[in-house]
Amino acid sequence: MVRNKRRTGECIKVILIFLVLSLTGSALAVNGDKTLLNQAKQIFGPLPKAMISEKNPVTPEKVALGKILFYETRISIDGTVSCARCHPIGLYAADGLEKSIGNNCKLNPRNAPTVFNAAGEISAHWIGNRMDVEDQAKQAMIGPPSFGMPSYEAVEKKLRGIKGYAPLFKKAFPEEEDPINVDNLAKAFGAFVRTLVTPSSFDAFLKGKQTALAAPQKSGLKTFIETGCITCHSSEYVGGQIYRKFGVAEPYWQYTKSKNVDEGRFAVTKNEDDKYVFKVPVLRNVEMTSPYFHDGSVERLHDAVLIMGEVQLAKTLADQEIEEIVLFLKSLTGQIPDDALKVPLLPPN
């Protein structure tokens, strides 16, 4: 609750900044690099070292277990699904598919977003039907199109069946008598995912290094701010803090190649106002995680930016504006933590 209030506060702050900027006649346009940096510092912010949680403190032992479990296929109903299947680290933790294909070839309802920096979001999943990364991991175990297990007990039985897990869970949860359970599995996953922070040249810029962004990237950042993209895409994560209707100005499906109309968060709240509402995605590493939108309906980043201008802001962005925004967005492609790039050895059958 406290966290949500803070997020709402931040969001109001960003909207106010945007309004002030608009009212003062695009003050940014006439100011220099220094002003741009100061504005950017207020709107965004460099990524933290890890995305902490009071409920689930990150410990090296939990992270180590979580990383092993991230690659574990044997806890899925058909033995082919692991977190890494839909979030392969080498592809910036997104799978390149419109919609992920889970156990027994079941299609997931929406595009798999990267898990990098995802623990900084207000919730998990496009429609916010998972509280946080721990909740996401836990529910994925019994999610029909993901791991597809019949029950949490069945997952726990699989884990107990692989001898090597008992000491790993014991290390991660030393105070518990019998630590092999799905809640601890979720905590371990969560701890690992909370370390997946990918600082980029944009963070160097936000910390004051003017040369970290090239001139066209700075122009792109200016346009990103002035056009109003920051109304939704703000914070350290450049998104992920609010829900917003996809298609504020016009229905999104008239612009995307969507195969069907997704009512979004309405499915969760049954509130008419939540029709076509989705969580605003984090734009960190967006260059690397095509295809775009909740249904993966758009392949090129250029097209995605164009569509956002049309349907969210009722603005037809010029080609050069789009190109510069895309260049700015490329500055959000970050460095994957070394440890995440190392494959863990799994306990044998």
Residues near a copy of itself (CB under 8 A) are 68, 71, 73-74, 78-80, 85, 88-92, 95-97, 101, 104-105, 287-291, 299, 336, 340-346, 348-349
Q: Which is nearer to a copy of itself, 36 or 118 (CB)?
A: 118
One-letter amino acid of 67: K
Helix or strand holding residue 5 (H, E) = helix 2-23
State in angstroms the smallest separation of the CB of 17 from a copy of itself: 32
Q: Which is nearer to a copy of itself, 130 or 158 (CB)?
A: 158
State in angstroms the smallest separation of the CB of 334 from a copy of itself: 12
- Euclidean distance between CA atoms 142 and 150, whole angstroms: 6
Any alpha helices (H) in 123-235, and if so which ranges?
A: 133-142, 152-161, 165-172, 182-193, 201-206, 215-227
User: Which of 251, 140, 229 lies closest to 186, judged by CA?
Assistant: 140
Q: How many CB atoms lie within 10 A of CB 210?
A: 12
State in angstroms the smallest separation of the CB of 194 from a copy of itself: 19
State in angstroms the smallest separation of the CB of 315 from a copy of itself: 26
- Euclidean distance between CA atoms 170 and 38, whole angstroms: 47
State in angstroms the smallest separation of the CB of 340 from a copy of itself: 8
Q: Which is nearer to a copy of itself, 35 or 80 (CB)?
A: 80
State in angstroms the smallest separation of the CB of 71 from a copy of itself: 5
Q: Evaluate whether 78 touches 104 at the Cβ level (below 8 Å).
A: yes
Q: 307 Cβ partners below 8 Å, 6+ apart?
A: 252, 255, 256, 298
First-to-final CA distance of the chain: 42
Q: Which is nearer to a copy of itself, 268 or 346 (CB)?
A: 346
Q: Which is nearer to a copy of itself, 102 or 264 (CB)?
A: 102
Task: Locate 214 and state its tokens.
Answer: 């090239």
CA angle 224-209-21, nearest 5°?
30
Q: Which is nearer to a copy of itself, 14 or 298 (CB)?
A: 298
Paired strand residues for 245? 277
State in angstroms the smallest separation of the CB of 336 from a copy of itself: 7
Greatest Cα-to-Cα distance within the chain, rounded to the nearest angstrom: 66
Q: Which is nearer to a copy of itself, 143 or 264 (CB)?
A: 143
